[in-house]
Structure 1
Amino acid sequence: MAVSWRTVAAFAALVLIWGSAFSFIKVGLDYSPPVLFAGVRTLVGGFVLVAAASVWGGAPELKRTWPMLLVSALFNVILFIGLQTFAVEYLTSGLAAVLVYLQPILVGVMAWLWLAEPLSVPKVAGLLLGFAGVVAISAGSLNGGFSFAGILVGVLAALAWAAGTVYFKRVQARVSMLWFVAGSFMTGGVVLLLAGLAVEPWSGIEWTGAFLFSLFHTGVLGCSVAWMLWLWLVRAGEASRVSAYAFFVPLVSVILGALFLNEPVELSLLLGAACIVTGIYLVNRRPAKG
């Protein structure tokens, strides 16, 4: 993938949005049951995406693309966002981040199997080193909050995100990206909302200012803006190379906590940052010609 100022800006915006997402999901879950929160924030993002697609997306061509849209909605929205929400509620933020950010490793394997992307020794080493960096920076918040069900949910969320990313890369040339993402989020949001209404009380949502701000961040920014950036980047480069940059998200999350929440900066942060930067370099380095 060619590195331009637009690519750098997209990565920076994406990492900042998702780097603060775990905190805002935690805030939202203080005022809402988990499935309802996942459904409402996903639908908020979906409505924003539909509005954008109506202006800039051209013809939706849903009659031709709806089967692909449903697969994307299943993996990228219903399973990933639904399971991620449960992981954040039932695990410590550090453990949830470690499990969810298994995704780049899983993408590397899936892209090798289904997209014929190369899986070289440096790339494998880089993915493992990047994940080790995520573990290192999250080490301080790994204590407590362990449950087998929560760990299983976190791993399944990573699997769903990886599968959805690789699937989009496989079909992206056949779909209008704006309408594809908008349709995925609207479809997934409706399913999550109906599931939430079936098992959770609507009255369980407290429409406070903090909840509405969390909804704005996780819905408008975290779903609509961030996912458009993410899939645009995946479309432009190898899925495995792009996914490696996701290792920056937990790092930025810890840095934001240190800057704005006065959380301590430990040596493990520096070690983790070095592992992540080195890992991303190894994944994205091009083999020498000759």
Structure 2
Amino acid sequence: MSRYRNVALFLALAAIWGSAFVAISAGLEYFPPVLFAALRYDVAGAVMLAYAIYVGDRWRPRGRDEWGVVAVGAGLLIAAYHAFLFVGQQHTTAAAAAILVSLSPVLTTGFARALLPSDALSVVGVVGVAIGLVGVAVIARPDPSNLFAADAVGAFLVFCAAASFALGSVLTRRIDSALPIETMEAWSMIGGALVMHAISLALGEPVDPSAWLHPEALGALGYLAIVASAVGFLLYFDLLEHLGAVEINMVSYVAPVFTAIVGWLYLGEVVDAATVLGFVLIAAGFALVKRRALRDELAAFGRSTSSG
């Protein structure tokens, strides 16, 4: 029963996070990008903080290390990731953005090994990272005569989002902190929202609340803030307790399937052959980088199946 429960929650999380890219594309018709991301985490941060207060006795960070991990989370996992993603997704399809973001687990391994020279990537691992980057290039398809075309720049910004998230993931794990994950996420969301509001002001993004009252705009914001952020992270925390890190990372490779389906149904976006090829290359790169962990997971699954 537990296995079926985990599978159901895994698919639910992939569907929620996959369809979130479609909600971003829909909402960008009404909100300026960085302000849209900031408003999302104004709401999500408040909800997550209320949850952290409800479930734990440590709802506020203490000391330099705990505030340090919050600062990294706010700056990289929330602000940089979402600012790059929302700006970049103005010029890419939702499916392409989801696939580019799925490079994060590969980049996370690369950053982890770069920051720990004694634990360097093997030759096969380096090849895996390279294949993943080739997948990004296939999706972006930069024109050498016009490298600053909107679609190429958009894909590059989404790649920067994936890199920001990967680096933030590594740095937060390197900081020795006993802060509960719910508390860290809540304060990171609040801090990240404040940083993005500052970026939005610096960019001079227009503030037109009348445009935000459109039902589609409110629906996109509500879905991203409540469903994709608050509910999505609660599902993630639950699965994190029952599944290994490798299995959690696989959400990144199932989510684009839901993105493509919902994007086609709701936005009429069509996934072209180059995007599919890029996805295959990124997934292959992940398989090479995580080949030992994947082999161990498959062996453990085989043992549990045979014993059941």
Please report how far the alpha carbon of residue 130 of structure 1 lies from its aligned counterpart in structure 2 after TM superposition: 7.0
Q: What root-mean-square deviation, in Å, do the aligned CA atoms of Structure 1 and Structure 2 show?
A: 4.0
1:206 to 202, 207, 212: 212
- Aligned twin of 1:62: 61
2:102 corresponds in structure 1 to: 101
Letter in 2 for 1:201: P
Tell me how far apart the structure 1 counterparts of residues 4 and 153 of structure 2 sit (CA, whole Å).
Answer: 42
Pair 264,181 (structure 1): closer, same or farther in 2 beyond 3 Å: closer
Which stretch of structure 1 is more off in the superposition, 42-51 or 255-264?
255-264
Separation (CA, whole Å) in 2 of partners of 1:274 and 1:149? 22
Describe the superposition over 1:198-231 as per-residue Cα deviations: whole angstroms up to 9, x where unpaired.
5223225421111111011111122223234446
- Cα distance 1:165–1:6, how it changes in 2: closer, same or farther (>3 A)? farther
Alignment match, 2:77 = 76
Q: Partners of 1:250 and 1:147 in 2: how far apart?
A: 19
Q: TM-score, normalised by structure 2?
A: 0.73
**How many positions carry a matched residue from both structures?**
284
- Equivalent of 1:159, from 155, 158, 163? 163
1:44-101 Cα shifts (integer Å, max 9, x gaps): 1111101111111322241221121111100011100111100111334354344333
1:177 offset after TM fit, Å?
0.8
Alignment of 1:1-290 (within 5 A): 4-5=3-4, 7-64=6-63, 65-114=66-115, 119=121, 146-147=150-151, 149-171=153-175, 174-198=178-202, 199-203=204-208, 205-230=211-236, 242-258=248-264, 283=290, 284-286=294-296
Distance 1:70 1:91, change over 3 A: same
Counterpart code for 1:180 = M
Q: Structure 1: state its 5+ residue gaps.
A: none
> Which range is displaced more, 253-262 or 88-97?
253-262
Q: Which amino acid aligns with 1:110?
A: F
Change in 2 beyond 3 A, CA 1:209/1:232: same
Larger Rg: 2
Per-residue deviation at 1:146?
Answer: 3.4
Aligned counterparts of 2:153 and 2:282: Cα–Cα separation in 1: 28
Task: Quote the offset at 1:152 in angstroms.
Answer: 3.6
Distance 1:237 1:68 in 2: 24
Give aligned-pair identity as a percent.
31
Inter-CA distance 12–168: structure 2 relative to 1 (3 Å threshold):
farther
SS of 2:212's equivalent? coil
| Cα deviations by residue, 1:234-260 (Å, 9 ceiling, x for unpaired) | 687775664354122222211334566
The 1-side partners of 2:119 and 2:233 are apart by 22
> Which range moves more in the overlay, 232-241 or 3-12?
232-241
The answer as to whether partners of 1:46 and 1:183 remain within 8 angstroms in 2 is yes
